[in-house]
């Protein structure tokens, strides 16, 4: 597990990289992020099914927090129960709550499959958009996942 200092250094390095990249904007679609924030809050996402392997809060070495909880909407839950797939269905939403070591909220991150691509958003605990759209800081890391989802794989 990363120490808090290692995680903060990694986040700082990624922020510097993103800021230095030509034309790179971290918060490309704050209006879209606000709309998604409202939808997931109205849908009470914390009552959604938990992601496979994340049935409770779990330690994490990812930049989203020292501990995370991951929730999936009914589209993802249905796909997980179905036959083998090679891409997540349109309308899939995954939400990750990130916490500091002391259990205090750190961030909320979400990704939604829209028009065949993923829309990413990350907010502070109060819902202020930090990243949105398809920032390279998100897409570069998530490219290693099963259709951009790293926390769990496709159903078999």
The per-residue pLDDT for range 58-89, each reduced to its tens digit, is 999 888 999 999 999 999 999 999 899 999 99
Instruction: Tell me whether residue 12 is exposed, middle or buried, using C-beta atoms within 10 angstroms of its C-beta: 0 to 12, 13 to 18, 19 or more.
Output: exposed
**What mean pLDDT comes out for the span 117-121?**
97
Instruction: Tell me the whole-structure pTM to 2 decimals.
Output: 0.83
Nearest Cα neighbor of 123 from 64, 72, 45, 56 is 64
32 within a domain of the structure (yes/no): yes
* Count: domains in the chain: 1
pLDDT at 26: 83
Looking at per-residue pLDDT, the higher value among 85 and 137 belongs to 85
Is the model's pLDDT at 102 over the cut of 60? yes
155 within a domain of the structure (yes/no): no
150 within a domain of the structure (yes/no): no
Q: Which domain holds residue 21?
A: 4-142
**What mean pLDDT comes out for the span 122-144?**
93
Contact 66, 96 (CB under 8 A): no
153 within a domain of the structure (yes/no): no
Contact 77, 43 (CB under 8 A): no
- How far, in Å, CA of 87 to CA of 79, rounded? 10
151 within a domain of the structure (yes/no): no
List the structure tokens of 72.
Answer: 């999936």
pLDDT at 16: 44
Tell me the CATH number at 45: 3.50.70
Contact 122, 131 (CB under 8 A): yes
- How far, in Å, CA of 156 to CA of 106, rounded? 33
């Amino acid at each position: 597990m990363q120490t808090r200092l290692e995680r903060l250094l990694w986040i700082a390095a990624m922020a510097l990289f993103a800021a230095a990249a030509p034309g790179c904007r971290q918060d490309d679609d704050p209006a879209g992020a606000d709309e998604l924030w409202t939808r997931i809050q109205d849908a009470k996402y914390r009552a959604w099914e938990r992601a496979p392997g994340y049935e409770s809060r779990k330690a994490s070495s990812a930049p989203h927090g020292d501990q995370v909880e991951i929730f999936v909407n009914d589209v993802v839950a249905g796909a997980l129960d179905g036959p083998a797939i090679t891409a997540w269905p349109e309308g899939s939403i995954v939400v990750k709550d990130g916490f500091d070591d002391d259990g205090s909220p750190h961030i909320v991150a979400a990704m939604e499959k829209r028009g065949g691509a993923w829309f990413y958003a990350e907010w502070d605990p109060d819902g202020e958009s930090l990243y949105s759209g398809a920032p390279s800081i998100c897409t570069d890391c998530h490219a290693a996942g099963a259709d951009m989802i790293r926390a769990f794989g496709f159903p078999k």
